[in-house]
C-alpha cells in the first residue's frame, strides 16, 4: 500500500491519459521486436480462421443483403406487373386484329365464311409476334384459318445464366415449387385450339375474353378471344394464344439480372466487410495481445520489460479511445508500482533512524552507571518509541488514503461554514500557545463538490502546522476568496518562513523542516497527504514566503503562506 497521487475521483483530478503518455516512448510488444513489427506492418486483411469478430462482421453484413434479395424474389412483384402489362397488351392486340377483319367485311350482303374464302385467307397475311398463334372461327365454332409466328418457344431458348446465378435460380425454382402455389393458373392445355374454344362462348356473346393458363410444357400462356361484328351481329371470333412460357422467360430474365446484381453486391459486401473487419479486428487483436502479454509468464520471459500498449491515438474512433485509455491505465499502474517501491524504500529509511537510536540507547543502558544517564536513555527510548508509533500510524493512514478517496462519495457542502467551524475549534488551541488566529471569510456561502472530511483534514493540517511554527505573540491568518470558477483558501503565519531550498521539498513524503526542539514530533507525511487530497479534488496547493512588495529576495521572510485552489 502506498500514498500516491489519486487517479480515480473524477476526470479533472487525475492525469489525462494523453498527458501521462506525453513525451514517453511507449511502444507495443511488436515494436520492441523488429520481426514482429515487420509482420504487423505487412499484415493486411484479417484471418477469418483466427478472428471470430471478423466472421461475425461479415455474416451480419451479408444477412441483411441476403434477406433483402430473398424477399424481392419471393414476393416477385415484377412478375405480377409483367402479367398485367402483357394481358392488357394481348387484349389490345386481339381487338386490333378483330378490327382488321371487321374492316374487310362488306357493308351489306352475304359474307363468305368458308375456309377457302378470301376472308379466312386474310389470316395468313397477318404479321404475328414470335410464337403467337391465331385462330379464326365462325359463329358456329368451325375453324376458318390458323397461323403461328415463326419462332421457337421461349422455354426452348438456350439458358444464358451464369454458373452462380444458374445455381441460385435452381434453388429458387425448387423453393417456389415447395412454398408457393398459383391458384389462378388453369388446367394444362395441349394446343391453342383448346384454349380458344374455352373462351368461344363468351366471345360469341360479344365480350372480349382473356385467360391465363398453362401449356403442355408447364409454361404460362395467354389466350384471348374477341368477336368480329357487323352492325352489332357477331359473325366470327378471333382467338390469340401467346407463346408458351413467354411470361416465365421475361420473369426469369428479370430475376437473372437481380441475381447478377446480388452476386456483385455480395462480392463487394464481402470485400468491404473484410476491410472493415481488418480495421477493427487487427488493432483489437494487437491490444489484446499486449494486454495478455503481462499475464503469460512464458511471454514475460520472451519479452522482458514493461507491457507496451500499441499507440492508436491517431484513430478518431472508439478503438483510438480504447488505446488511449489502456495506455493511461497501464501508465497509472506502473506509476503505482513505482510509487509502491519508492514508498517502501522511504518507509524503510524512516523507520531505520528511530530503530538505530533505540538500538544505541538499549546498548548504552548496559554500560550506564549513573541514574541520570539511565533516565536520559529512557527518555530517548520513550521518544523514539512514540516517534515510531506516530510514524507507523501516519504511514497506515497514508497507505489507505488512495483507496478511501475512491470509495467515498462526493457531496456538495458549504466550504465557508466548514472553515468557520475549524477556525473556531483550532483558534482555542492556538490561543493556549499565545498565537492569535485571524479569519477573513466572505459573508455568502461558497458551495463546492467534494469530500468534506478530507478537505477539512487538509485545512486542519495547514493551520496546525502554521501554529506550530509560531511563538507567543505571533498570528495566523486564514482567508478565502472566490475567483471566477475557483476558490482560494490561504493560510498565512508570522513565523520564521520556509527556507528557499525547502520550498520545492515541503510536499515530499517524510520531508520535515522543523526547529531543533521539535525534531521527531512529525512524520513528514502531513503536507504530502494534503497535496494528494487537494489534487484528487482537481485543485492545486503551493507554498511561498511572505515578503513586502519590492523586497530583496534574499531578505528574511515575514512568514510563510500556503495557498489551496479548488474548483467551484
**Average pLDDT taken over every residue of the chain:** 75
Please say whether the beta carbons of 260 and 162 come within 8 A.
Answer: yes
Does a structural domain hold residue 278?
A: no
Residue 55, Cα to own-chain centre: how many angstroms?
Answer: 18
Pick the last residue of a domain from 244, 268, 294. Answer: 244
pLDDT of residue 296: 54
Cα–Cα nearest to 249, from 170, 176, 159: 159
The Cα–Cα gap between 357 and 377 comes to: 10
Q: Which domain covers residue 467, as residue numbers?
A: 409-568
Does a structural domain hold residue 110?
A: yes
Does a structural domain hold residue 157?
A: yes
Sign of torsion over alpha carbons 30, 32, 33, 39 = positive
- What letter does residue 557 receive in the DSSP assignment? P
pLDDT of residue 492: 93
Does a structural domain hold residue 267?
A: no
53-72 pLDDT, tens per residue? Answer: 777 777 888 888 888 877 77
Contacts (Cβ under 8 Å, ≥6 apart) of 291 = 307, 309, 326
What is the pLDDT confidence band of residue 82, given thresholds at 50, 70 and 90?
confident
Total of domains in the chain: 2
Pick the last residue of a domain from 189, 219, 244. Answer: 244
Sign of torsion over alpha carbons 17, 19, 20, 25 = positive
Number of helical H runs and strand E runs in the chain: 15, 12
* DSSP calls for 436-484: EEEEE--SS--EEEE-HHHHHHHHHHHHHHHHHT--TT-EEEEEEEEET
Does a structural domain hold residue 250?
A: no
CATH code, 532: 3.30.565.10
Does a structural domain hold residue 67?
A: no
| pTM, 2 dp | 0.47
The Cα–Cα gap between 375 and 365 comes to: 10
CATH code, 84: 3.30.450.20
The Cα–Cα gap between 301 and 304 comes to: 6
pLDDT of residue 556: 78
Does a structural domain hold residue 470?
A: yes
Q: How many residues does the chain have?
A: 568
* Least trusted range by pLDDT, from 107-111, 148-152, 312-316: 148-152
- What letter does residue 188 receive in the DSSP assignment? B
Beta-carbon-side half-sphere exposure of residue 24 (alpha carbons within 13 Å): 17
- Across the range 212-220, mean pLDDT stands at 69
Please say whether the beta carbons of 437 and 478 come within 8 A.
Answer: yes
Pick the last residue of a domain from 186, 221, 244. Answer: 244
- Across the range 18-34, mean pLDDT stands at 39
Contacts (Cβ under 8 Å, ≥6 apart) of 543 = 498, 503, 506, 507, 560, 561, 562, 563
Q: What angle do CA 500, 505, 506 make, to 5 degrees?
A: 90
Does a structural domain hold residue 432?
A: yes
Amino acid at each position: 500500500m502506498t500514498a500516491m497521487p489519486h487517479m480515480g475521483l473524477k476526470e479533472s483530478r487525475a492525469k489525462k491519459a494523453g498527458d501521462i503518455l506525453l513525451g514517453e516512448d511507449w511502444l507495443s510488444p511488436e515494436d520492441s521486436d523488429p520481426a514482429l513489427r515487420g509482420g504487423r506492418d505487412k499484415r493486411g486483411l484479417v484471418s477469418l480462421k483466427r478472428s471470430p469478430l471478423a466472421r461475425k462482421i461479415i455474416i451480419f453484413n451479408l444477412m441483411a443483403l441476403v434477406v433483402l434479395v430473398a424477399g424481392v424474389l419471393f414476393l416477385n412483384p415484377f412478375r405480377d406487373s409483367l402479367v398485367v402489362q402483357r394481358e392488357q397488351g394481348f387484349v389490345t392486340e386481339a381487338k386490333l386484329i378483330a378490327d382488321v377483319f371487321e374492316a374487310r367485311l362488306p357493308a351489306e350482303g352475304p359474307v363468305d365464311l368458308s375456309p377457302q374464302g378470301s376472308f379466312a385467307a386474310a389470316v395468313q397475311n397477318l404479321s404475328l409476334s414470335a410464337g403467337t398463334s391465331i385462330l379464326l372461327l365462325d359463329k358456329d365454332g368451325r375453324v376458318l384459318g390458323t397461323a403461328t409466328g415463326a419462332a421457337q418457344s421461349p422455354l426452348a431458348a438456350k439458358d444464358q445464366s451464369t454458373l452462380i446465378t444458374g445455381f441460385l435460380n435452381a434453388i429458387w425454382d425448387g423453393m417456389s415449387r415447395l412454398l408457393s402455389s398459383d391458384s389462378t393458373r388453369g388446367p394444362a392445355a395441349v394446343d391453342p385450339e383448346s384454349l380458344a374454344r374455352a373462351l368461344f362462348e363468351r366471345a360469341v356473346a360479344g365480350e372480349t375474353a382473356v385467360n391465363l393458363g398453362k401449356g403442355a410444357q408447364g409454361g404460362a400462356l395467354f389466350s384471348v378471344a374477341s368477336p368480329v361484328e357487323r352492325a352489332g351481329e357477331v359473325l366470327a371470333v378471333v382467338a390469340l394464344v401467346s407463346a408458351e412460357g413467354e411470361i416465365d422467360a421475361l420473369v426469369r430474365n428479370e430475376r437473372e439480372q437481380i441475381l447478377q446484381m446480388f452476386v456483385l453486391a455480395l462480392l463487394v459486401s464481402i470485400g468491404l466487410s473484410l476491410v472493415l473487419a481488418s480495421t477493427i479486428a487487427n488493432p483489437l487483436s494487437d491490444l489484446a495481445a499486449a494486454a495478455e502479454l503481462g499475464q503469460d509468464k512464458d511471454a514475460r520471459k520472451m519479452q522482458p520489460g514493461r507491457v507496451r500498449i500499441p499507440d492508436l491515438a491517431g484513430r478518431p474512433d472508439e478503438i483510438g479511445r480504447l488505446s488511449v485509455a489502456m495506455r493511461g491505465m497501464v501508465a497509472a499502474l506502473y506509476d503505482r508500482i513505482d510509487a509502491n517501491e519508492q514508498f517502501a524504500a522511504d518507509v524503510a529509511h524512516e523507520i531505520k533512524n528511530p530503530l538505530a537510536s533505540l538500538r544505541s540507547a538499549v546498548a548504552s543502558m548496559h554500560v550506564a552507571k549513573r541514574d541520570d544517564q539511565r533516565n536520559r536513555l529512557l527518555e530517548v527510548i520513550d521518544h523514539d518509541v512514540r516517534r515510531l508509533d506516530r510514524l507507523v500510524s501516519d504511514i497506515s493512514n497514508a497507505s489507505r488514503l488512495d483507496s478511501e478517496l475512491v470509495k467515498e462519495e462526493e457531496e456538495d457542502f458549504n466550504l465557508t461554514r466548514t472553515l468557520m467551524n475549524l477556525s473556531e475549534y483550532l483558534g482555542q488551541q492556538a490561543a493556549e500557545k499565545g498565537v492569535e488566529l485571524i479569519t477573513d471569510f466572505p459573508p455568502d456561502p461558497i458551495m463546492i463538490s467534494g469530500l468534506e472530511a478530507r478537505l477539512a483534514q487538509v485545512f486542519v493540517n495547514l493551520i496546525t502546522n502554521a501554529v506550530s511554527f509560531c511563538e507567543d505573540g505571533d498570528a495566523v491568518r486564514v482567508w478565502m476568496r472566490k475567483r471566477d470558477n475557483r476558490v482560494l483558501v490561504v493560510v498565512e503565519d508570522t513565523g520564521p518562513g520556509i527556507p528557499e531550498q525547502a520550498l520545492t521539498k515541503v510536499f515530499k513524503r517524510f520531508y520535515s523542516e522543523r526547529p531543533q526542539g521539535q525534531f521527531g514530533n512529525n512524520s513528514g507525511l502531513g503536507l504530502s497527504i494534503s497535496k494528494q487530497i487537494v489534487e484528487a479534488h482537481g485543485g492545486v496547493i503551493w507554498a511561498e514566503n511572505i515578503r513586502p512588495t519590492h523586497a530583496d529576495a534574499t531578505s528574511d521572510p515575514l512568514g510563510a503562506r500556503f495557498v489551496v485552489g479548488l474548483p467551484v
